[in-house]
Every structure is written in C-alpha cells, then in structure tokens.
Structure 1
Amino acid sequence: MNVTIKDVAKRANVAPSTVSRVIADNPRISKETKERVWKAMEELGYYPNAIARSLASKVTNTLGLIMPRSTEEAFSNPFFPEVMRGISVVAHREKYDLLLSTSGNQEEEKEAVINMVKGKRVDGIILLSSRTTDELIPWLRDEKFPFVVIGKPLDAKGVYWVDNDNIGASKLATNYLIKHGHREIAFISGSLEYVVSLDRLDGYKLALEENGIPFKRELAEQDEFSEDGGYRAMMRILEREKPTAVVVTDDVMAFGVIRAAIDKGYRVPEDISIVGFNNIPLSAFANPPLTTIDISTFDLGIKSAELLIARLKQKDVDTDHIIVPVKLVERKSCVAR
C-alpha cells in the first residue's frame, strides 16, 4: 500500500498542508515540526515526489549540462567525460542531480537550453564550451538565468566562466619546442569557431614572435577535435612543408598527427617532435608516450560546478571567473635538434 501525505500528517500529528510546507522547506515551519515530519516520513518509508516538491519550492536541485556535440562525438573525446566527472563530484556532494543535453548543431543546442529554462527543469546551466558566435550566452544573460561557461567567452561581460590561461599554455608548449632547438614548428587545432582554439593559436604566434621566428600560415591547420581530424590536418601540412615539430591542441588529435607522420615515412620523435594538450590517460600509453600540457580537466569541472552552486545558494562570490593552472608533462614524443 502506498504511503500518502495524509498518512505522514497523521503520524506526525500535523495537517497535510504542513507536511507539504515541510517538503518545500518553508521557513515559517519550526525546526521542531520539520524534524517531526521528516521522522514520520522516514518511519513510514514516504518519499516526496520530486516534481511536486520542485513545484512547491520552485527549486529542482538539478543542473543542466550542455554538450557542444552529438553524444557519439562528445564521448569519443575523453575531455568531456573527465570534465563531467568533476561536475558530478560536486553535484553529488551538494545534493544536485544532473540533466545532460547533447546536440548536433547550435540550433538544437539553443532549443535544448530554452526547454530547460522555460520548462523550469533546472536551477542553473553549465555550458561545456565557448564559441566565437555563441547565441546561448547572450540569451541566458538576457534571461538573467544562472549559468557558468567552461571556456572564456569572447564577450565576458556579465558572464561567470572557468578556464585555463590558454594563451599562456600554448606559449608554454611552443617555447618548450623552441628551447629544444626547433624553429619549423607547426600548429594544429580544432575549429576556430571555439575561443579556446583562437587563444591557443595566439599563444603559439606570440611564442614565435618573442623568439624572432616568423609565423608561416602554411604551418597552421584546423580540423575537428578527433583522431581523424588530426590526421587530415597533418597530411595537409606535410603536402606543403616538413616541420620538425608540431603543437597539437588536443591529445586525441595528436594521435592522428603521429599516425599521419608515420604514414608519410617520418619517425616520431626523431624526425618530428609533437606536444599535445589535455594529458588524457591514453597519452601516457601512446607510441611514443606523448609530451602534453595537463589542463587539469577534472578541476575545470569541479570549479565550474562550485561556482554555479555558489551563485544558486546566493553565496558571496569574489570573482566572475576562475583560471585553472596548467603544467607541461614531459614524456618521449620530443627530442632536441
């Protein structure tokens, strides 16, 4: 037999309306009464309906996560599961559920966000990427709906965000190769529609400029964030030039870059040195093990969730953005010239 609110009310010796107010955490109900009602619910095995509870309290205790790609594409790159792991740790600790939305294009993304916000399905949203032409950020800002972006927005006014110093990280990778005697250094990134790709391209260019090395457009390529994308980009570069080193802004892409170099008859690292980004677990087991920039992906997830929940709980937030440090992890994919 299902336990009802009336059963709980009878056990706690209160009115059914009082039970509803306790479930909604109404501040007018005394602590003593709340404890008595929750004890009655526990004794009877009564579990409040989550939907009814959210309607009463106007709080869902749910965070929305917006993926920039389809499910198949997103989970093929270890970055997204790792950043979600960080988010889920904080959500679990703070007793929030997660609602994940994936999409094939920006139109589907915006539709998903509108449904979440207008349907009152979530209390706040975490965007897992930042585009140069992003319709979601200005829409959420205009709606005054709580959200956090993983990735520095092009227009950061009024936006809370978490990211690395991607310009500095790319300079770190490029300078590492320059210090190893390389001057013909190629650069391969994901699409330039993402702010992270633009920032890392800027960091690469700055490192070259500061070391008196001219930027060569023929040594820079972009493609999708995948192994095949890295392979295609490297093949296009090798048709024009033969770099001695490559900065690749994603480890999965770097695996494709290594494969392309080998298919063209080059050895890694003897002929071409490679530095990747993200320090995914597989990078340590690549052949050769990949030197890479560790961007602390897990911490990006942790900090984004903490920042959003702090806003939802109306805690004092000292800053509108958080920069997560990076470090270079040296392995076997680079040699000195």
Structure 2
Amino acid sequence: MSVTIKDVAKQANVAPSTVSRVISNSPRISEKTKRKVRKVMDEMGYHLNLNARVLVRQSTQTIGIVMKNSASHSFENPFFSELLRGISQACHEHDYSINLTTGESEEEIFNDVVKMVQGKRVDGVIVLYSKKDDKVVPYLMEHDFPFVMVGKAVIDSSNVMYVDNDNVQACRDATNYLINRGHDNVALLGGGSHFEVDKARLEGFKYAMNEHKLNLPDGYITNIDTGNSKEMQVIHELMDLPEPPTALVVTDDINALKVMAVLQDRNIKMPEDVSIISFNNTMLAKLSNPPLTTVDTNSYQLGYESSNSLIQLLDEPGMLKRSVIVPTTIVERHSCSRKMTHNME
C-alpha cells in the first residue's frame, strides 16, 4: 500500500497541509520543518503523485522549449546542449518536465508551438532565440501564454521577460582584446543577420573599431550562414582581400573551427599570422588546435535563469516582467598573439 501525505504528516507530527506546503517548497514553511518532513518522506518511501498534482493544479508540470533551428542543427552546437542542461537542472529542482520542438523548418517549429499551446501540452514556453519577423513570440503574446526568451525581445521588450548577455559590450570587449594586442586589421565573422544576438555583437564590434578610429574595409564584416553550401567560401573571400585581416572576431566557437580549418588548408598559421577570438567557451574551444581564446557567455546559467524565471512567472502570473543579464568573461587560451612590429633604427 502506498504512503500518503496523511501518513507522512502523522509520522512527522505536523498537519497534512504542512506536508503539502513542503512539497511545493512554500516560503511559509521554515527550513527546519522542511528538512524534518523531507527526512520522514525519504524514510517512509513517499513519492509525489504527479498525476494527482496535475489534476489538482490544472497543470501539466511541463515546459516547452522552442529551438532556434531544427533539432538536428541545434544539437550540433554544444552551446545549445549546455543551455538545455541549465534549463533541465532548474526544471528538475521544481519537478517540471521538458517538451522540445522537433520541426525541421521555421513553419514546422511554429506548428509545434501551436500544438503545445492549443493542446495544453505545456504550462509555459522558453524561446531560445530572439529575431525579427518571428511568428512564435507574437503568437504567444496574442494568446497571453506564459513565456521567457533567451535574448532580448524585438517587440515590446519592457513587457517581455528575457534572459541575455550584454552582447554589445561582450563583442566590444572581444574586439578591444585584439586591438590592444596591436591588431589594426580586425574583421568580424557573424552567424547571420536575422537574430538579435548577431545584431548586438555587430554593434559592439563597430563601436570598438570606431572608438580606436580604425578603418573597416569592404568585406571585413561577413556572416557564416550555417547550413549554406557556400558557408566556407566567405572565409576564403575574406582572406583573399587585397589587405586580409590579421585578427578575427568569430561570434560562435563552432564557426571559429570552420575558420581554422580553412586557414590551415591555406597554410596560414594561428596565432602567428592570424589571431582569433570567438564566443561561448564550449568544449570545442578547449579541444581546438590551438585552443581558442573565447568569450564565456555562461550558457548553462542562461538556461538555468530562463527556466527559473518562467517557473516563477507560472507561480506568480501577475509579477512584474523582468530581464536577467548574465555576465560574460574572456577566457584566454592560445589563439591570439600580439602583432609583431618592425623596429626602425
């Protein structure tokens, strides 16, 4: 026979309502009482009946995750795996499950979201991106459905809860890192112009270059569009310029590896000939040759904070919408060097 809340209450010498509040982690219950009741629950082998809880609360205890790209492309990038690990940890702490979109195109991903909302399959949604001309966020807003974004909202940002880095400052710092090592010819390789994160990093890059009064020749700002059959060609075109850059800011570790592969094929040495700084500090940055200097965006924390924020919003629907800015740091490795200058007598 299964152990009930009443059995736990009797053994712990508390009211059944106290046990219920401990289960929901209510702030009204002291930590001492929580420890006492949880100890009794463990000793008696009590397990929360999630199905009953769902019926009582009219909740699925599930959070929907809207992927930036198709699942097959997203999981190629360790950044998203780490992001999901943070989301999963917060969900685990609050007894929530996860439901991922599985569509392979923007339209299929949008249809997945419609099914989540209309079918009441999830309590709320985390959107793992922010971009212009997106259909998902306006749909969620129109249906007054709880959601949190990873990335600053394009529309009505003051009324949307989001978690992000200060990407303008982060890319300004990355660019200054190269400039301060004597590099005047610095180029930017982004991941596309559709997403807000890329626009913000472009702004930070331009800010740093203008701040130091450095020229930006045509071709020094370009994008590596993932999945495009000619994605490697833009790297060749950059290095074929009359005055190729001596330093590169690449806005993703996985794209930095593509750049390094092209440079190695062209017998361009790193960091002696070209220095590279990238973003995200994934395991790829540590394993590359040479190991990449990269901006740590704390992707795990981005995921954890987005999940925590959504669960808080579900518990307190009337709460003031807020944003969380996760700090970034530059992790120095061996892909950047100081530009050597010739001493004049």
**Aligned counterparts of 2:47 and 2:183: Cα–Cα separation in 1:** 68
**Aligned counterparts of 1:229 and 1:200: Cα–Cα separation in 2:** 23
Unmatched tracts of structure 1, length 5 or more: 12-22, 26-38
Does structure 1 conserve the Cα–Cα contact (< 8 Å) formed by 2:224 and 2:232? no
Cα gap change, 1:183 to 1:44, in 2 (>3 Å): closer
Q: Report the counterpart of residue 112 of structure 1 in structure 2.
A: 112
Amino acid at match of 1:253: N
Q: How many angstroms does 1:306 deviate by?
A: 0.8
Cα gap change, 1:230 to 1:287, in 2 (>3 Å): farther
Q: Report the counterpart of residue 286 of structure 2 in structure 1.
A: 284
Q: Report the counterpart of residue 131 of structure 2 in structure 1.
A: 131
Deviates more, 1:229-238 or 1:113-122: 229-238
Identity, % of aligned pairs? 37
2:92 is equivalent to residue 96 of structure 1: no
* Secondary structure in 1 matching 2:294: strand
Q: Report the counterpart of residue 148 of structure 2 in structure 1.
A: 148
Does structure 1 conserve the Cα–Cα contact (< 8 Å) formed by 2:158 and 2:321? no
Does structure 2 conserve the Cα–Cα contact (< 8 Å) formed by 1:283 and 1:290? yes
**Aligned counterparts of 1:226 and 1:251: Cα–Cα separation in 2:** 16
Q: Report the counterpart of residue 327 of structure 1 in structure 2.
A: 329
Does structure 1 conserve the Cα–Cα contact (< 8 Å) formed by 2:62 and 2:98? yes
* Secondary structure in 2 matching 1:98: strand
Q: Report the counterpart of residue 216 of structure 2 in structure 1.
A: 215
Amino acid at match of 1:185: V
* Secondary structure in 2 matching 1:217: coil
Normalising to structure 1: TM-score of the pair? 0.83
Q: How many angstroms does 1:213 deviate by?
A: 0.8
Q: What value does the CA root-mean-square deviation take over the aligned residues?
A: 3.2
Cα gap change, 1:58 to 1:278, in 2 (>3 Å): same
Moved over 6 A (4+): 42-47, 226-230
**Aligned counterparts of 1:265 and 1:95: Cα–Cα separation in 2:** 53
**Aligned counterparts of 2:312 and 2:46: Cα–Cα separation in 1:** 32
Q: How many angstroms does 1:189 deviate by?
A: 0.9
Per-residue CA distance 1:230-262 (angstroms, 9 max, x = gap): 644312211325110000000010011111112
Does structure 2 conserve the Cα–Cα contact (< 8 Å) formed by 1:62 and 1:98? yes
Q: How many angstroms does 1:277 deviate by?
A: 0.3
Q: How many angstroms does 1:130 deviate by?
A: 1.0
* Secondary structure in 2 matching 1:141: helix
**Aligned counterparts of 1:316 and 1:113: Cα–Cα separation in 2:** 23
Q: Report the counterpart of residue 191 of structure 1 in structure 2.
A: 192
Cα gap change, 1:316 to 1:45, in 2 (>3 Å): closer
Per-residue CA distance 1:181-201 (angstroms, 9 max, x = gap): 101111001111111111111
Q: How many angstroms does 1:104 deviate by?
A: 2.0
Cα gap change, 1:193 to 1:44, in 2 (>3 Å): closer
Q: Report the counterpart of residue 255 of structure 1 in structure 2.
A: 257
* Secondary structure in 1 matching 2:122: coil
Q: Report the counterpart of residue 58 of structure 1 in structure 2.
A: 58
Aligned length: 310
2:250 is equivalent to residue 236 of structure 1: no
Normalising to structure 2: TM-score of the pair? 0.81
**Aligned counterparts of 2:195 and 2:189: Cα–Cα separation in 1:** 14
Amino acid at match of 1:272: V
Does structure 2 conserve the Cα–Cα contact (< 8 Å) formed by 1:228 and 1:256? no
Q: How many angstroms does 1:57 deviate by?
A: 3.1
1:336 to 312, 335, 338: 338
Q: Report the counterpart of residue 34 of structure 1 in structure 2.
A: none
* Secondary structure in 2 matching 1:224: coil
Q: How many angstroms does 1:308 deviate by?
A: 0.5
